[in-house]
Amino acid sequence: MRVLHFFKTYWPDTFGGVERTIHAIAKGTAKYGVESDVLSLSKTPLENSVEFDGHMAHKAKLDFEFASTGFSHEAFGRFRELSQKADVVHYHFPWPVMDLVHLTVPPGKPTVVTYHSDIVKQKVLLQFYKPLMFRFLKSVDRIVATSPNYLMSSDVLERFKSKTTVIPLGLDEADYPKANDAVLARWRGRLPDRFLLFVGVLRYYKGVHILLEAAKRNGLDVVIVGNGPMETELKRAAEQNSHKIHFLGSLPDSDKVALLELCTAFVFPSHLRSEAFGLSLVEAAMFGKPMISCEIGTGTSFVNLDKQTGFVVPPNDVDALSNAMTRICEDEAKAAVMGVAARNRYVACFTADKMCSAYHRLYCELTGAIASNR
């Protein structure tokens, strides 16, 4: 079976949450005999097609971007060419140009779309896009929501509930080898013994400004891994508390793993629905860390269960976030119990094997093939 994944960006240009999910599906379904292709856009495609971790990454030339949407004339022809070879076309929503390509160049193959997120920020443009969006979603065969929470809270998915199923995102623990002693020792020498960890791109919806204010109130050490458009503003906001806030920038996975092993707890203060799932929470659960997140009606509260794997607090509530941070740091026994529960939840719900097995069954259902049990 051959599957074509289609999304606006992919390795090596970017490798964020959606891209990591595509990679995990392509890599994980290979053991079921699925051959995967990924088509995305690139400003400077060095080659049209490159082998990556057992599958092919194909590029179309990015012509320009508007409102976080990449446009490409070349994508129409590349999609036609690659979809003809596919048994299933797997879209990753949202990307309005993808809708247009699908409707202009119908693949004539079974189609599935993973619905990663509502469109939250572009409220005005959304009104113009809605007719195209609804036509696209109506035309595909199946829709996948990444959590039951998102399926229940999305007005868009409510319209298509009859053909929507839930397949939670998952990560492969083999991609996170334990940190070696030298790396652990280096970070122990640079950071305090106990700290809370945040990992993510520093965007407007991540709520890091709320985290900084909470840290100022409770006096706890916070380590922030990642960079992004809010970085300068956030560093300026943390100046008065700079001895407690540790901005480390973007780090290699080996260092990120070390920090996940060393941290007391993981804090993820995203306060807007733009945070649709929170793969960083899955990483924290994999490492058996108690978590703090906000109730925003998305997958974050599916990964982190309040008072079981950590604490879930109201969004944009500095006092509630500060208190949760204090509680998780002061009660080591409770934090340890929550960490064990987080690890158990990862194993039960969020492994790449579980995600890929579910997608393989869906592909087989769409094509009439018989799913193998491997």
Residue 16: its pLDDT value, please? 82
All CATH 3.40.50.2000 domain ranges of the chain, comma separated, are: 2-171+351-367, 173-349
Contact yes or no for 352/167 (Cβ under 8 A): no
As separate numbers, helices (DSSP H) first and strands (DSSP E) second, the chain gives 15, 16
* DSSP H helical ranges for 159-262: 181-190, 208-218, 231-237, 253-262
- Between 3.30.70.980, 3.10.450.50, 3.40.50.2000, 3.40.1180.10, what CATH number should domain 2-171+351-367 receive? 3.40.50.2000
Q: Which residue carries 């030339």 as its tokens?
A: 61
Residue 129: its pLDDT value, please? 87
Q: Is the peptide bond before 12 cis (omega within 30 degrees of 0)?
A: yes
* DSSP H helical ranges for the chain: 17-29, 74-85, 96-104, 123-139, 148-153, 155-158, 181-190, 208-218, 231-237, 253-262, 279-286, 300-303, 318-330, 332-349, 352-367
Q: In what order do the strands lie in the sheet with 196-199?
A: 245-249, 222-225, 196-199, 265-268, 291-294, 310-313
Residue 372: its pLDDT value, please? 56
Residue 159: its pLDDT value, please? 96
Contact yes or no for 188/179 (Cβ under 8 A): no
Residue 165 amino acid letter: T
- Rounded Cα distance between 319 and 141, Å, is 45
* C-alpha closest to that of 93 among 138, 143, 131, 55: 143
Contact yes or no for 21/169 (Cβ under 8 A): yes
- Rounded Cα distance between 58 and 50, Å, is 6
Question: Beta strand 69-71 with 64-66: parallel, antiparallel or unpaired?
Answer: antiparallel
**Which parts of the chain have pLDDT scores under 50?**
none
Residue 304 has what DSSP assignment?
Answer: S
Contact yes or no for 52/30 (Cβ under 8 A): no
Residue 371: its pLDDT value, please? 63
Please calculate the CA angle 76-162-23 and round it to the nearest 5 degrees.
45
Q: Residue 225 is inside which H or E element, if any? A: strand 222-225
Chain Cα centroid distance, residue 369: 29
- Rounded Cα distance between 209 and 215, Å, is 10
Question: What's the mean pLDDT when you consider all of the chain?
Answer: 94
Question: Beta strand 265-268 with 245-249: parallel, antiparallel or unpaired?
Answer: unpaired
Residue 171 has what DSSP assignment?
Answer: B
Residue 166: phi and psi, rounded to 5, are -110, 125
Q: Which residue carries 């002693």 as its tokens?
A: 181
Is the domain covering 173-349 a CATH 3.40.50.2000 domain? Answer: yes
Contact yes or no for 237/215 (Cβ under 8 A): no
Residue 25: its pLDDT value, please? 97
Dig out the tokens for 66 from the structure: 């508007």
